[in-house]
Structure 1
């Protein structure tokens, strides 16, 4: 009591803690209520897996703008909530407990034990081991390498990559044939035996990839520039005229007939972009609106992306169904292209059941279409309900071509966050150390990109003449980054440069 007979005002810290305690307790209540509604459309059997429960909490929490409360928590020396992906309720409960102590109030929740607080990290590490195989002792992140077709006749190349640090072999079933795939898988098993550690094998089924077929140009060495017209042909040979001096057949004829004026088309991972100008029963005219400097050469077997077009394609083609017989024989994981909806996972499961296998390979969903991004929580929930080893590949080439280059950096971050919340391992793919792999010298930008890839559970290198040097460099870089950051959390190892 003061001399005037009234209580002293509580100190500023105590008042702030009281206000924040009320806000965080109310937020926790909202998160639990909203999470229950979030789970409903996923049709997850009870009991719901812990990772999916945490994912529902994370999505419920991230529907709120937490920036104002984050700064006020930081000023009290408490968690800003900025690294809670794998532990939403434990983090909220820990912060609420600390605020109750600072405010001199009874704790409205039970403070989490240390094991419960870090359970999400254990869950993710266990899932990564189950899907990808064990990580190297000196780094958390695995290295995957896409094999060229020549590897089928070159076992020493695979052995050399394994000795340098490759952990996972990727075989792209869009190329070569079953005999070549079996040979590559056999060489990988032999290499694993010789280096004395497991080498996992991922086989990537092709899916309904839309590519250019036969091409024609009115002038032999002409390149597509902004303003040019490209004719896509659904059937027969492509043909040029004065109106459209460039023409190409496409791998899936029905796509041409589904185009509508105003829809966008991107060619070769976004090397050029055009807009549908006109369509008839068998052709479409694309007006080029953007192209790389110097223009872009029209070639066969180049990818086409149609971000505005309802494709209506099954992610499993007849070829994929035939290829699965070899995949289940050789692979530890299946790379699933064009997966977009939870029902697509059911479709693949039924196809595998027809193969009558005792053990299903793990499943890697390639996130490359806007629908896959939107439905990612449902995809993860469906796989978890089946107790199927599951991971996500951020297919950044196709994803950038679908959603736009300016958004892909933001989206790859959000995918990393959601997967960590669900305890789902991530493969960071497309153009990692691309200049080094192709030309032997990395760019500064791609070195930074490779360092940021350390937050994933696996990094994929593409094939190329200098891929062995890229494995060497990436092995060292990932090991060093492990001392600085784990997922989104900086770790303060001692600095040696100052």
Structure 2
């Protein structure tokens, strides 16, 4: 436990006095680049570490964010680690078109084309960021779009692409959009783990970030590739940043022990349960079980775990958490770090999460129950 706690603190900060055992990692909004008080308020509310998503903004904005985070940390008297998250080779929709504003319902035809669809396409249609993947499709295969909001089954392969039938779309249908995730759970995607955009981001990240978030990492070779690119950019005497392995595919799950060993041999390492893409890849039915297995494996390997995706999203975006979200936040206490995304109620969400995590610290230590005294009925002998 002491070794794991030390690695948690190295990666995600030591936490304020009286803070919960689990650290809180907060995604930095663009506004934090121009508003130093926002970063200060987040840290005072209980944020232990900050995440910058390299899929958005650019070096000028990132530099301003980092300047404000470092200054706020000095002012408050705490070192706040910075995670810079590479976008990675996520499969996305490229162009979309179709009648009814490209909205699809269950039973509708959906075409996946090698070329961008025409504006007045007869059926809903889309193209992909990696059109060569159309060659991997086969009739009967399931595909998912926009974090699983749209599900479809391949019906036929044609010279222009593939014809699909929509099997999931909600009671009022779902609008197709560009730049949304595209998942093929039955296919092992063999594309480079680092994109050219990632390499350009590394030019900025190395030397500034404490941690690098490695999106869609799947093999030990992927890790060696990242470290080689990092080392090219290190100045003399520079220190390799730590790596957070984002587990988002079935292949990454199968390779997780090898990923931990390979990364841990080269740098400080943590694992992120990236539940958005992972849930689509393995199915919601398996998601809860897989969370448990990843937590067990990483605890045995003395590797910190980040619990991520949609934590208290209702509270963050609308100011009101659901009961299910609150229970999910309580379950997250077993991880070493909990990640929040951005939203207008960020400080309220940080404070709420901190209180939930603190309460759960009385009952759980990682995956083991503490069996502590029940205090809610203290002095009430009638219960």
TM-score band by shorter chain is over 0.9
**Distance in 1, Cα, partners of 2:132 & 2:283:** 24
Post-superposition CA distance 1:345-377 (Å, at most 9, x none)? 111111111113411110000000000000000
Q: Distance in 2 between matches of 1:183 and 1:281?
A: 49
Could you say which structure has the higher strand fraction? 2
Q: Structure 2 CA distance, aligned partners of 1:442 and 1:236?
A: 40
Shift of 1:240: 5.7
Which moved further from structure 2: 249-258 or 389-398?
249-258
Query: Normalised by the size of structure 1, how large is the TM-score?
Result: 0.73
Q: Give the superposed CA RMSD.
A: 1.5
1:129 equivalent in structure 2: 9
> In 2, are the aligned partners of 1:257 and 1:282 still within 8 Å (CA)?
no
Q: Distance in 2 between matches of 1:281 and 1:179?
A: 44
Range with greater deviation from structure 2 (285-294 or 195-204): 285-294
Does the CA-based 8 Å contact 1:258-1:310 persist in structure 2? no
Structure 2 match to 1:302: 180
1:199 to 69, 80, 84: 80
- 2:340: which partner in 1? 461
Q: Residue 369 in 1 paired to residue 249 in 2?
A: yes
Q: Give the C-alpha shift of residue 125 in structure 1.
A: 1.1
**Does residue 414 of structure 1 match 2:285?**
no
Indicate conservation of the 8 Å contact 1:256/1:282, yes or no.
no
Q: Are residue 403 (structure 1) and residue 277 (structure 2) matched?
A: no
Q: Which residue of 1 aligns with 2:114?
A: 234
Give the equivalent residue in structure 2 for 1:478.
357
**For the residues of structure 1 that align with 2:119 and 2:167, how far apart are their CA atoms?**
21
- Which of 179, 192, 211 is the matching residue for 2:92? 211
CA deviation profile, 1:294-317 (whole Å, cap 9, x unmatched):
211111221111111232111101
Write out aligned runs for 1:40-55 (5 A): none
Using the size of structure 2 for normalisation, the TM-score is 0.94
Q: Pick closer, same or farther for the CA change 1:150–1:285 going to 2, 3 Å.
A: farther
- How much does 1:193 deviate? 1.0
Shift in alpha-carbon separation, 1:350–1:201, aligned structure 2, 3 A? same
Instruction: Indicate the residue corresponding to 1:334 in structure 2.
Output: 212
Matched residue, 2:191: 313
Where does 1:169-188 land on structure 2 (aligned, <5 Å)? 169-188=50-69
Counterpart-to-counterpart distance in 1, 2:256 and 2:113: 34
> CA 1:297/1:422 → structure 2, altered by over 3 Å: closer, same or farther?
same
Q: Distance in 2 between matches of 1:354 and 1:265?
A: 38
Given the alignment of the two structures, is residue 223 of structure 1 paired with residue 103 of structure 2, yes or no?
yes
| Residue among 293, 306, 312 paired with 1:427 | 306
Q: Decide whether the 8 Å contact of 2:51 with 2:84 is kept in 1.
A: yes
| SS at 2:96 equivalent | strand
SS at match of 1:300: coil
SS in 1 for 2:143: strand
CA contact (8 A) 1:265 1:274 kept: yes
2: distance between equivalents of 1:276 and 1:149? 39
Distance 1:233 1:385 in 2: 43
SS where residue 298 of structure 2 aligns? helix
Higher helix proportion (structure 1 or 2): 1
Q: Distance in 2 between matches of 1:224 and 1:403?
A: 24
Higher relative contact order (CA 8 A, sep 6+): 2
Could you say what secondary structure the match of 2:138 adopts? Answer: coil
Structure 2: gaps (5+ residues) = 378-383
Task: Work out the CA distance in 2 between the residues paired with 1:458 and 1:317.
Answer: 27
Q: CA deviation at 1:238?
A: 4.5
The match for 2:234 is: 356
CA contact (8 A) 1:437 1:465 kept: yes
Instruction: Return the alpha-carbon distance in structure 2 between the equivalents of residues 401 and 304 of structure 1.
Output: 10
Q: CA deviation at 1:495?
A: 2.5
- Tell me how far apart the structure 2 counterparts of residues 356 and 235 of structure 1 sit (CA, whole Å): 40
- Whether the 8 Å CA contact 2:212–2:244 is kept in 1: the answer is yes
Superimposed CA distance per residue, residues 57-105 of structure 1 (whole angstroms, 9 cap, x where no aligned partner)? xxxxxxxxxxxxxxxxxxxxxxxxxxxxxxxxxxxxxxxxxxxxxxxxx
Q: Residues of 1 paired with 2:294 and 2:345: CA distance?
A: 30
Structure 1 gap segments, 5+ residues each: 1-120
Does 2:151 match 1:151?
A: no
Conserved? CA contact 1:272–1:290, under 8 Å: yes
SS in 2 for 1:330: coil
Secondary structure of the 1:459 match is strand
- 1:266 maps to which residue? 144
SS of the aligned residue for 1:329 comes to coil
Which of structures 1 and 2 has the bigger CA Rg? 1
Distance of 2:344 and 2:318 partners within structure 1: 8
Deviation of 1:281 (Å): 4.5
Q: How many residues align?
A: 374
TM-superposed CA distance for 1:223, in Å, is: 2.7
Give, in whole Å, the separation in 1 of the partners of 2:33 and 2:372: 43
Deviation at 1:234, TM superposition (A): 2.7
Check conservation: 1:238, 1:248, Cα contact below 8 A. no
